Amino acid sequence: MLRKVVSAVAVLGLCLGIALADEFRATIIKVDGDKVTFKKGKGGEEMTLPVAANVKVSKGTFNKETEKVEDATPVDGGLKNKMFADIGEKGVGAMIVTDADNKKITEIQVTKGKKKNQ
């Protein structure tokens, strides 16, 4: 009986931690080592957060209907990839996921828009 209660509490804690994590669209302006500077949303304020040691960096297509990144594939080199070294004036569009405390970035999903039919 005690094992069931302890297991239930552990699962509840895990679910709560996942539910509290924040996920939002952002424009990455600068990557400096393990710190990422970005603007949250469109025209939002500039923020800088460190990345977690096991940060996941992927690239995919943003679906406006589901507001999720689809067809995501891992980015070679992670934050050391050339796309983060040569960030232009417009920045790099991404979905950013933070930890439960919103103090570290746990996942970056670089997004690209769907190509228009010509």
CATH number of the domain at 51, please.
Answer: 2.40.50
Domain count, the chain: 1
In which band, very low, low, confident or very high, does the pLDDT at 112 lie, cut at 50, 70 and 90? confident
**Do the domain assignments include residue 94?**
yes
User: Does residue 58 sit within a domain?
Assistant: yes
Distance CA 63, CA 4 (A): 40
Judge contact between 109 and 38, C-beta under 8 A. no
Is 90 exceeded by the pLDDT of residue 96? yes
- Round to whole Å and give the CA distance between 74 and 58: 4
Q: Among 5-19, 59-73, 80-94, which range has the highest average pLDDT?
A: 80-94
Residue 34 phi, psi dihedral angles, 5° rounding: -105, 20
What per-residue confidence (pLDDT) applies to 100? Answer: 87
Asked if residue 32 is part of any domain, the answer here is yes
Q: DSSP alpha helices (H): ranges in 21-105?
A: 82-85
Return the H-helix or E-strand segment holding 8: helix 2-20
Q: Which tokens go with 51?
A: 């990345």
Domain annotation covers residue 86: yes
Q: Are the CB atoms for 59 and 73 separated by under 8 Å?
A: yes
Tell me the pLDDT tens digit for each residue of 30-40: 999 999 999 99
